[in-house]
Amino acid sequence: MTFRAEVVVQLKPVVNDPQGIVVRESLLRLGFDGVRSARVGKHIALEIDAADEASARESVQRMCEQLLRNPVIEDYRVESLSAAAEPASAL
Amino acid sequence: MTFRAEVVVQLKPVVNDPQGIVVRESLLRLGFDGVRSARVGKHIALEIDAADEASARESVQRMCEQLLRNPVIEDYRVESLSAAAEPASAL
């Protein structure tokens, strides 16, 4: 079965985020006065084959641990995981 | 009121994603055989002041249109928007 997973990798709250600071300053300059903070992270959308949802989730978590996030400065969370309609490439 | 918003900015499906291709190849090399595709996008977490949820959402959408996404190659969606506990900086 094919599953679609979405992973969010964000800088830990204690880590300085220069990109987020620039985004906030740019928004303020554009007139969005209400912006208190902006933090920029990564969003990774995966399509994976797995036997069932539990093993898909376990597999995505191991991908995060091994490759997708830098454990020193980043946190991750698996935002969503669901069975996908068979992708076009497999038809 | 302060609202917390999360925005996902992704390359349009028709746009080539070299970073995603490298992620997929790296995952395959690490032994994650089931990876069909990986797409890398941006996740932007915002804290904004607004009168109510509707104006917060409208404001975030204008931020995306004006700054956060490149309309030629990217799509965006407002992933979540909710009232935040008053942030520490405002105490």
Phi-psi region of B57 (alpha: psi -120 to 50; beta: other; left: phi over 0): alpha
Question: Of A10, A32, A62, which is closest to B63 when you measure between CB atoms?
Answer: A32
Q: Are B67 and A30 in contact (CB under 8 A)?
A: yes
B67 neighbors A40 (Cβ within 8 angstroms): no
- Token pair 């599953």: residue: A3
**pLDDT band (50, 70, 90) for residue B91:** very low
| Coil, strand or helix at A62 | helix
Distance CA A8, CA A91 (A): 29
A38, A67, A90: residue with CB nearest B26: A67
For residue A14, the 8-state DSSP code is T
Residue A61 contacts B, CB cutoff 8 Å: no
B58 touches A: beta carbon within 8 Å: no
Domains of chain B: 2-85 (3.30.1280.10)
Q: What is the ipTM of this complex?
A: 0.89
Answer whether B62 touches A (CB < 8 Å): yes
Q: Is the pLDDT higher at B88 or at A27?
A: A27
Return the H-helix or E-strand segment holding A20.
helix A18-29
pTM of the model: 0.89
Tell me, what's the pLDDT at B45? 98
Q: What's residue B2's pLDDT? A: 95
Instruction: Name every chain B residue with its beta carbon within 8 A of the beta carbon of A46.
Output: 35, 37-38
pLDDT tens, position by position, B35-85: 999 999 999 999 999 999 999 999 999 999 999 999 999 999 999 999 987
Residue A41: closest CA among chain B residues belongs to which residue?
B43
| Residue A85: pLDDT band with limits 50, 70, 90 | confident
CB contact A8 to B (< 8 Å): yes
> Could B45 and A66 be called an inter-chain contact, meaning their C-beta atoms sit closer than 8 Å?
no
CA atoms within 13 A on the CB side of A81: 18
Among candidate residues B50, B36, B37, the one with its CA nearest the CA of residue B11: B37
